[in-house]
Structure 1
Amino acid sequence: MKKYVLSFAILSLFYVESKACAWADPDYEYFNLFTQSIIRDKSYLPFLHSYSTRFYTDFKNSQIPNENVESWKKFFNNQLSYVETDYLVNKMNIGDLNELKNGNPKNQLLKKLGFNFYKTYQEGIDYLIEAKYLEPYMRINYVENPNSFYYDRDQVDKNATQLDYKKTLAALTSLYNASKNTEVKQRYGYQIVRFNHYTRNYDAAILAFKNYVEPIKLKGVPYYMALDQLGGAQRGLKMNSDANWNFFQVFMNSKSHKESAFVSMKLSDTASFNNILKKARNNEEKNMAYFLLGYEDFNNPIPIMEKMYEINPDSEILKVMAVRSINELERSYLPIYYYDSNDPNKTVSQKTSSTLSNHDTNGEAAETKDEKLSFWQKIIRFFKNLFGGSKTDKTDNGNKDDQSDNELVDNPNRIPFFTKNNYWYDESTKNFLDDLEEFTNKTKEKSKDEYWQIADAYLKFLKKDYKKSIQLLNDIKTSNPEYLEEIKRMKVLNDIVSQPRIDAEYENHLMKEYSEYFVEKEVKKDSTQTDYDYYGPKPSTASFLKDVLANRYFIQGEDGKSFLMNNKLSDLQYNPNSSLVKSVEEFYRKPNKTQFEQQIISKNMNNVGNIDAFFSIIYGDRAMRQADFEKAQSFYRKAQQFTGIPRMDYEWNNNTQKITIHQYNTNEYNGFNNISNLVFGHNVWVSYQSDPQKSMEKEDYTQFPMIKPLMNKLEIADALIELKKLGSGKDEKGSKANQLIGNLLYNTSILGYYRELFVMDIDNTNGGKYDFWNTDKKNPYQYYYKNFLDKSYIEPDNFDLAITYYKKALDLSNNKEQKARILFQMASAEQGKYYQYEAKNPSAIDYSDPKWSEKSDAFQKQLDQTKNQKFRTYFALLKTQYSDTQTAKSLMGSCSYFNYFMK
């Protein structure tokens, strides 16, 4: 983990551990490759799939048509455009309309229309003047509960009670009676119902609807606007069933008020849905009721969709349900990060008939079934594996470049596939891909909308039947621009994801045909934008394809290219695993790179100062941790041009982030220079955050002039080589030389005060590099190197190396005090071996186990027994043979654990 800002690191931990964090957005957790908004009826856009908000919001409000504006446009005989009508009805101020009425308009639109426009549509204009006068007051008066937690509203806010009830009602009634145009008359009726509703005269509102709205036998926009107000009045009188039914009618017949009508329905239980279903008078109403039920209960949408299909296979709302279903599946098939299956906190389902189908070289899918082998088949398979090798053998042994195209295509770690590893899902998450495909396949035969063909092709893509998917896409005939854009994207996806091997020829194909998805475009920000992005960039098709290629390179054994698809070269400093570094270096030195490698992959070879020195430091550090001092020396000689571990300084000011490259001071440790000779000393107490002089104590270096007060890594390697030679002697000087080597190896281990020196870190403050996390795998990554910085990937310490040198020192020393000190250092190293053992043997007791406490105590007791039997050798020796030494007595005062052990 990067050590930029401590508070940021702490917040990151909370993000990883909790799915309820306020700053985590589930709609950023998957690649939305199937565009939900391609549905034809845009009034249902709010009802597309979203977990971040109650309703889907990733669209422009102007995409949803306003039926009230459309109604007025028709009223004015289409003399005005939709935009002009919207301006006149919803945005123009009342003064402009009064000036038109008085024959002296100043507004440009009204001047163009002229006074004849008013004379022609007088009743409509007069109504708009009255409506604009009432509008600021048309909200219900807010009555605050004395115990309310909510914000106390500004007392100057207008509401309906601030109007004179009798005068307003009389004026509206008079205008209603005087109106000759039935549509305008009904609009006045709507205003009367609304005014009574908002003044909480609920009975009067219901009566007004009956007397002023219903008698006009029109069921256009004004009728449903009034019906919406009637429902509100009925809700106020606890007539919930009637209110729900009326809101349901509004939902069905309104375009721009569907969201508010749905909220007003308050469908909180099955009974509410059943009541609506019982009242349904025709198939259209039944179909809509099923839609609402499916919208609220979305664990498995197929049964509800089947009922809707039986009523009308070509209904728009069935397409909405289908696109929501696809989006739900996408969240499991296309998460922005596939967690490793060996992560105990995540579950990855890799073997399902619908997701991991077998493929031939043409990409055709065949059903995967559980294979039951006869005894004879098992024998044949045994000998095939014995003499011919198997796919598993090749993959496990790292011979990935020997894989055939079939093996690459059938690799179970080849993304995308179904997984439950996303934070937002649990065991109830279902893979209904097969059922949805079957449903879509039959619906496309009944419906005339090409949507179902596109959906079917996309489901084939998820099932990895790329050949069939492409065939379906090629057969679609449509002029719908949104459909065409989706088809184009899906063809790209099928092409890239179906490719067995990403080689130089195919990389050239990518640059020729799809460079727009890989060449980053410069995004210009306006003056109102900042560099701060709350959630980060939204997942895109381009970022998904980048992940796909990173996965393919990983499977092919091209780890360096896989790493650089998702990471920068400088990121290696945080988890410098030497085998990965070697692969990255091989790519760096590769001659004749393809255009794709040069422009897309190599651009992530960012500034690390001298790149050759950067690689040499990592290799040299690893050699030091393996006690191969000669090898380390050879690498450090190549690293003398190293300018420092690349670090960034971050400054925040009013949500604006300033990033600058850290400039190392002359005496500051930079990954190579300015290392204190305390690294050869021993710790007085374990405190990583204390000053070196408080935590560490020097040894006597008078016999070893090669150990200078400040050294670089090359000088340390030189000194260790000399100490190693001196350590072959048989005297006290040889003992001391071996002890100093042991000290350095321990002090630079995960437990040492200088633990940062050989893991390319800047200081010893805590982080993932210093966890006793273990894996039996050479490479703990399973799919690609995405989120590389979230996982430690450094070869573990070998504490036996330090112990070996301490043993030599112990055998050569005749000084009992010195022997006691050496034994304590050996015991400290042995403690590290125990921590490694403990990390490899974690508790498997479930917290839900009723006997969790009892079992946990037993498990801890077993660990303690193992610790004392196998990892307390040198503590025991120190206690039995050296407890009378001044060194042991001093250690009891500074080391609480040793004090506890001695007692």
Structure 2
Amino acid sequence: MKKYFLSLAVLSLFYTKSNACAWSDPDYEYFNLFTQSIIKDKSYLPFLHSYSTRFYSDFKPNQIPDENIDSWKKFFNNQLSYSETDYLVNKMNINDLNELKKGNPNNALLKKLGAGFYQKYREAIDYLIEAKYLEPYMKINYVESPDSFYYRENNTDKNATNLDYNKTISALTSLYNAAKNPEIKQRYGYQLVRFNHYTRNYDAAVQAFKTYVAPIRLKGAPYLMALDQLAGAQRGLGMNSEANWNFFQVFKDSKSRKESAFVSMKLSDTASFNNILKRAGTNDEKDMAYFLLGYEDFNNPIPTMEKMFEINPDSEILKVMAVRSINELERSYLPIYYYNNDDHNSTAQTNNSNKNSDQNKTQTAAEPKKELSFWQKIVRFFKNLFGGSKDKNSPEGKADQSDDELLDNPNRIPVFTQNNYYYDEKTKDFLDDLEKFTSKTKEKSKDEYWQIADAYLKFLKKDYKGSTEILEDIKTTNPEYLEEIKRMKVLNDIVSQPKIDAEYEDHLMKDYAEYFVDKPEPKKDSTETNEYDYYGEVPSTKDFLKDVLANRYFLQGEDGKSFLMNNKLSDLQYNPNSSLVKSVEDFYRKPNKTQFEQQIIAKNINDVGNIDAFFAVIYGDRAMRQADFEKAKSYYAKAQNFSGIPRTEWNYDEKKATPLQYAATSYNGFSNISDLVFGHNVWESYQSTPDESMEKEDYSAFPFIKPTMNKLELAEALIQLKKIGAGKDEKSATANQLIGNLLYNTSILGYYRELFVMDIDNTNGGKYDFWSTDKKNPYQYYYKNFLDRSYIEPDNFDLAINYYKKALDLSMSKEQKARVLFQMASAEQGKYYQYEAKNPSKVDYSDPKWSEKSDAYQKQLDQIKNQKYRTYFAMLKTQYAETETAKNLMGSCSYFSYFMK
């Protein structure tokens, strides 16, 4: 099981599209729904598509057949199983074989075979004894170059030069000459070629191949092993063309040595490839040569695949090229996150079809626009006539959509995105080209693979009916094909459903429960390790379907269900947006939930303490930020059982995260709020203690302001201040000033900015950024990347300013007026920051005049700031510059000092 160890705060940083970070692995960033490894010839598994490693590695090594073990198994007349043969050849100790030779076998396998096994296969056992003696030395000696960048300490590992060259050559030659069996004879020849290669006697290695290997007319495993060593020796002699050709032969004919042979080939230039293609005499050689070209140059493999098709449409390696192409497409159509267009410019879909007409055409090429019947047009006319003009983005508008409107929504996933590192503009058209090729090939090839591939491409193009029809017609007994077909049928069914209603949810639980219900984790072998555990679990079909349903609920206006498909209830604390919270609460309180809602969605309503209190605090906080103190009080009265914002902390004793235990005097989201919240900041430092950053006003006239309060008491105090502020005297002025202070101090700029956004302290984070969005809901597809951005209603600084204005009008003290004006100016600064965030620079970094244009834009911003957002600083400067308050502010506020000068 792969684990994440990132906190939510840190995790939010990686939800942005920043794939270059050290924690990113592109092979974990899409849903591998079309299983690459269903190719029949498993020797090509390393050549499937991967960005994380040079070769694909998500398979068990024993899946690739080893022709050497097969050869030995056949040599022993299939008396041993494959695993027993592998053990005998590769793992058994040399001493065990010597004991067998003496007639006293101690090894369990050799005992089972009996002493007569040696008599029957004397030459083979003698060869294995010699091979096991040589094996520890069969490495080439590393020679450090004077210009080497890396320092290597003296390596004490054995290598071929540790053996006496003349004695070893003499012994192997004698054994070769004595051997009667041609295969065993050729194996000794292989050892002679290998030993000379690893001792850098390259000419001798080439000669040994000609003398001891080639004359024996066998082209099995020993020959390929020797040919591999010959090619290495030729590379050492600078015979690159010959070496490439022989490595190519090993690559073509060997099952287990394809990856190493490919690495050994030097095909970095066109000439090297052309040399191989010129020498290719058979169709198999030409087919393989084109595969190498297509594998190395993967920008557009279709032309190469066309050449391979002309040679052999049943070619197994043509399927490898196709599955790599499909995998590349999946990365653009099935990313693990769909980002919003306006924020990340990473999706090709927008609601404005004119902007992306070509891409929309690509996506919907297989699903032509349905012509409405005459009756449907009449129904739609009267529906529009009498149904009013509901906002299609509102929950009511979304819920009122017809099946056709839901199916036509361009944001129904899967959609095309620019989600991978190597995105190319041509990728948008690649799906059409690959579908044409696959459709053509399935008519010529006898392998059902091409029908499955064609069905899958239609699935990506949203032609779910056409995809399902192809799947229904496939006749196969291949278990991997059958599993892929089964999964694709499920995908087509779910993704093509216009609306997910209660009836369909029952269908999901009845027929597809295995794709949604969590299974118990299998016990893991304590010795099992995986170098990629750091990245977490590989995205699965189950995860994709959860995303699809989250997307469907979102498009239907069921935001609460959409949210809970990908998030926990406790996650609302990070972005307590009122409308979303209300939708989640509505689902929580929904009676008669379907089985799907109970088991799949409601399970994410996790422990937040008293759930009613949790919701009440969020609503009360929002009311406070709107200065609706009476409403806030009514909610807080229902929140007195609130046990604290549901945070976790790492428990070193238990070695796991446990619920945070708040101290009796700590702020927990509801209790222990200092009366400094009504004060003003001495200097702007969120990291300093409250007594260092904040200073109290004179509360003596307001005894109901307690030194420490909970939110209910705070709301009650504000209600009383509001009543007093309705008067016309100095006390009323101070009451309005205190209300203004609280609203400013709990805004995004205030020292107590955490109080009404479900946070436990004022340390920095996404909640305290001036995000730019013109949308009430910044999410476009679903809430999966919920922590990606702030989703909190912005502060209304005018609320604080309006209370300050009342204080300014009522106060008779110039000092108090100066203090109030400074607070008003600070709130006005917040309004400017909001304006600036909504109007970012549109100058492109690639613009040659980027610096000049950016400076001009900044100058324009400064002009707007001074003209529209410096009203109260100007009044303070022109009317109250001589006050002690203004003089003190010049010493503590550098910006005010700069403005005054």
TM score, norm. by length of structure 1 = 0.94
Q: Post-superposition shift, 1:386? A: 9.0
Cα distance, 1:215 vs. partner? 1.3
Tell me by how many angstroms 1:287 deviates.
0.6
- 1:429-828 alignment runs, 5 A limit: 429-526=427-524, 528=526, 533-651=533-651, 657-828=655-826
- After alignment, is 346-355 or 592-601 more displaced? 346-355
**Aligned residue-pair number:** 884
2:77 maps to a residue whose letter is N
The alignment's C-alpha RMSD in Å is 2.5
Match of 1:184 in 2: 184
C-alpha contact 2:232 2:243 (8 A) present in aligned 1: yes
Helix, strand or coil: the match of 1:399? Answer: helix
C-alpha deviation, 1:793, in angstroms: 0.2
Deviation at 1:470, TM superposition (A): 1.2
Aligned to 1:34: 34
**In 2, Cα distance between equivalents of 1:796 and 1:423:** 34
Q: Is the 8 A contact 1:356 1:417 kept in 2?
A: no
- Looking at structure 2, the residues matched to 101 and 330 of structure 1 have their Cα atoms a distance apart, in angstroms, of 57
Provide the rounded CA distance (Å) in 2 between the counterparts of 1:156 and 1:448.
Answer: 55
Q: CA deviation at 1:349?
A: 4.0
Query: What SS is found at the alignment partner of 1:742?
Result: helix
In 2, the alpha carbon distance for the partners of 1:317 and 1:384 equals: 58
1:366 matched to 2:402: no
Q: Residues of 2 paired with 1:46 and 1:275: CA distance?
A: 25
**Paired position in structure 1 for 2:133:** 133
Cα displacement string for residues 81-129 of structure 1 (whole angstroms, at most 9, x for unaligned residues) = 1111111111111111111111111112212222322222211111111
Question: What aligned pairs does 1:21-100 form with structure 2 within 5 A after superposition?
Answer: 21-100=21-100
**TM-superposition CA deviations, 1:341-367 (whole Å, max 9, x none):** 1114524345567866898xxxx9434
- After superposition, the Cα gap between the structure-2 partners of 1:692 and 1:72, relative to the gap in structure 1 and judged at 3 Å, is same
Residue aligned with 1:119, SS: helix
Extract unaligned runs of 5+ from structure 2. Answer: 351-355, 372-377
- Corresponding residue for residue 845 of structure 1: 843
Distance 1:682 1:522, change over 3 A: same
Query: CA distance change for structure 1 residues 530 and 621 in 2, over 3 Å: closer, same or farther?
Result: farther
* Cα drift, residue 393 of structure 1: 5.1
CA contact (8 A) 1:774 1:839 kept: yes
Q: Retained in 1: the 8 A contact 2:753–2:762?
A: yes
Q: Secondary structure at the match of 2:657?
A: strand
Q: Is the aligned partner of 1:241 residue 2:241?
A: yes
Q: Is the 8 A contact 2:390 2:397 kept in 1?
A: no
Query: How does 1:64-463 map onto structure 2 within 5 Å?
Result: 64-146=64-146, 148-150=148-150, 152=152, 155-349=155-349, 351=356, 365-367=366-368, 394-395=392-393, 399-422=397-420, 425=423, 427=425, 429-463=427-461
Q: Which runs of 4+ in 1 moved over 6 A?
A: 4-8, 352-359, 383-386, 388-392, 529-532
What is the CA distance between 1:152 and its match in structure 2? 2.8
Residue 10 of structure 1: CA displacement? 5.5
Amino acid at match of 1:478: T
**2:900 paired residue number:** 902
What secondary structure sits across from 1:71 in the alignment? helix
- The code of the aligned residue for 1:338 comes to Y
Deviation at 1:153, TM superposition (A): 5.5
Offset, 1:143 = 1.6
Taking the aligned partners of 2:712 and 2:802, their CA distance within structure 1 comes to 23
Give secondary structure in 2 for the equivalent of 1:649: strand
Deviation at 1:424, TM superposition (A): 5.7
Q: How far does the alpha carbon of each residue in 1:366-406 deviate from its partner, in whole angstroms, 9 at most, with x for none?
A: 3479x9xxxxxxxx9xx999968999952468511110011
Deviations 1:773-811 (A, max 9, x none): 031111000000002112110000000000000000000
Residue 425 (structure 1) shift: 3.4
User: Partners in 2 of 1:5 and 1:470 — Cα distance?
Assistant: 41
Q: CA deviation at 1:212?
A: 1.3
Q: Residue 660 of structure 1 aligns to a residue in which SS?
A: strand
Instruction: Report the Cα distance in structure 1 between the residues aligned to 2:439 and 2:565, rounded to whole angstroms.
Output: 37
Residues 59-68 or 431-440, more deviating = 431-440
SS of the equivalent of 2:656 reads strand
Matched-pair contact (CA < 8 Å) for 2:331–2:419: no
How far, CA to CA, are the matches of 1:679 and 1:389 in structure 2? 49
CA contact (8 A) 2:362 2:428 kept: no
Amino acid at match of 2:226: A
CA distance in 2, matches of 1:26, 1:284: 33
Is the Cα contact below 8 Å between 2:15 and 2:788 reproduced in 1? Answer: no
Return the alpha-carbon distance in structure 1 between the equivalents of residues 578 and 82 of structure 2: 65
User: How far apart are 1:15 and its partner, in Å?
Assistant: 7.6
**1:117-161, Cα deviation, whole Å (9 max, x unpaired):** 222221111111111110000010112235545463663201000
CA distance in 2, matches of 1:800, 1:353: 45
Offset of 1:445 from its aligned partner? 1.0
**Shift of residue 426, structure 1, vs aligned partner:** 5.4
Alpha-carbon spacing, 1:229–1:15, altered in 2? closer, same or farther (3 Å): farther
CA distance 1:790–1:257, change in 2 (3 Å): same
User: Retained in 2: the 8 A contact 1:674–1:710?
Assistant: yes
- C-alpha distance in 2 between matches for 1:345 and 1:675: 42
More moved, 304-313 vs 77-86: 77-86
| CA–CA distance in structure 1, aligned partners of residues 383 and 878 of structure 2 | 55
Alignment of 1:846-865 (within 5 A): 846-865=844-863
Partner of 1:375: none
Amino acid at match of 2:735: A
Identity of aligned residues (%): 78
User: TM-score scaled by structure 2?
Assistant: 0.95
State the alpha-carbon separation in 2 of the partners of residues 130 and 462 from structure 1: 57
Q: Is the 8 A contact 1:140 1:199 kept in 2?
A: yes
CA separation of 1:896 and 1:354: change in aligned 2, threshold 3 A: closer
Query: Judging changes above 3 Å, is the alpha-carbon distance between structure 1 residues 287 and 30 closer, same or farther for their aligned structure 2 residues?
Result: same
Shift of residue 893, structure 1, vs aligned partner: 0.1
Q: Which stretch shows the higher mean deviation, 228-237 or 271-280? A: 271-280
Relative to structure 1, the CA distance from residue 164 to residue 39 in structure 2 (aligned partners, 3 Å threshold; closer, same or farther) is same
